[in-house]
Amino acid sequence: GENVEQHPSTLSVQEGDSAVIKCTYSDSASNYFPWYKQELGKRPQLIIDIRSNVGEKKDQRIAVTLNKTAKHFSLHITETQPEDSAVYFCAAHSGGGADGLTFGKGTHLIIQP
Amino acid sequence: EAGVAQSPRYKIIEKRQSVAFWCNPISGHATLYWYQQILGQGPKLLIQFQNNGVVDDSQLPKDRFSAERLKGVDSTLKIQPAKLEDSAVYLCASSLGGGYGEKLFFGSGTQLSVL
């Protein structure tokens, strides 16, 4: 089955700086890569996703890049703000009938004022 | 729109007891998922339903866990008997079910503590 590795486990950045979270996956058939944000005590929510036919996608201050050859994808957050503090999870979906996602272990992003 | 509803919000039981969780997905969503999230880890898929049929239960510990989705709407997840390592947040999620790569909508989860 799919295996998703995520780094770092904790990331602390100064407010206004950029943050980068990286993930690798094992199944070359994987074709969909979403990122979920989970604030303390709340449910995970989708913030951005990318499909295997695209190398990069951007939504305001958030961008995701995908390198299918190397089997890794990254989340980039620019001009970080206090409300960006949360745990971020990357995930991968392998092709086939089942739609369930395999999640990474999460990155706790801390925005320092 | 109404979100994914789950109950109870918290549950504390002793090991070897049984427990059940309930989930009501977003209206019209054909696909329903149960995830287990252990503290400090990402959600792990336990079971996926498409309408009232099971699509994937490969990671469900079937000797103690069971789930059903009668009539293709609400779902219940049961653990019997519970073990200490079952302490986790159990998240229910739903999606439209039209194909891969759909947005998952998560419920608030049930936090289970097994003592």
Give the chain B residue whose CA is nearest to the CA of A48: B103
The full 3-state SS of B34-46, as one line of letters, equals EEEECCCCCCEEE
> Is the previous residue joined to B81 through a cis bond, with omega within 30 degrees of 0?
yes
Give the chain B residue whose CA is nearest to the CA of A10: B40
pLDDT at B1: 56
pLDDT at A86: 97
Coil vs helix vs strand at B26: coil
**Are B34 and B59 a contacting pair, CB within 8 Å?**
no
**Are B112 and B88 a contacting pair, CB within 8 Å?**
yes
Instruction: Tell which residue, B59, B77, B58, has the closest CA to residue B18.
Output: B77
List chain B residues with CB under 8 Å of A45: 106
φ, ψ for residue A58 (rounded to 5)? -130, 140
pLDDT at A100: 76
Q: Which DSSP state fits A61?
A: T
One digit per residue, the tens of pLDDT, for chain A of length 113 reads 789 999 999 999 999 999 999 999 998 888 899 999 999 989 999 999 999 888 999 999 999 999 999 999 999 999 999 999 999 999 998 765 566 789 999 999 999 99
Burial A29-64 (b: 16+ CB within 10 A, else e): ebbbbbbbbbeeeebbeebbbbebeeeeeeeeebbb
Interface mutation vs chain A, best among B41, B45, B108, most A CBs within 10 Å? B45
pLDDT tens readout for residues B44-102:
999 999 988 998 898 999 999 999 998 889 999 999 999 999 999 999 999 987 666 78
Distance CA B50, CA B30 (A): 6
pLDDT at B15: 96
Lowest mean per-residue pLDDT among B5-9, B14-18, B53-57: B53-57
Nearest to B56 among A6, A95, A100 (CB): A100
**CB contact (8 A) between residue B42 and residue A46:** no
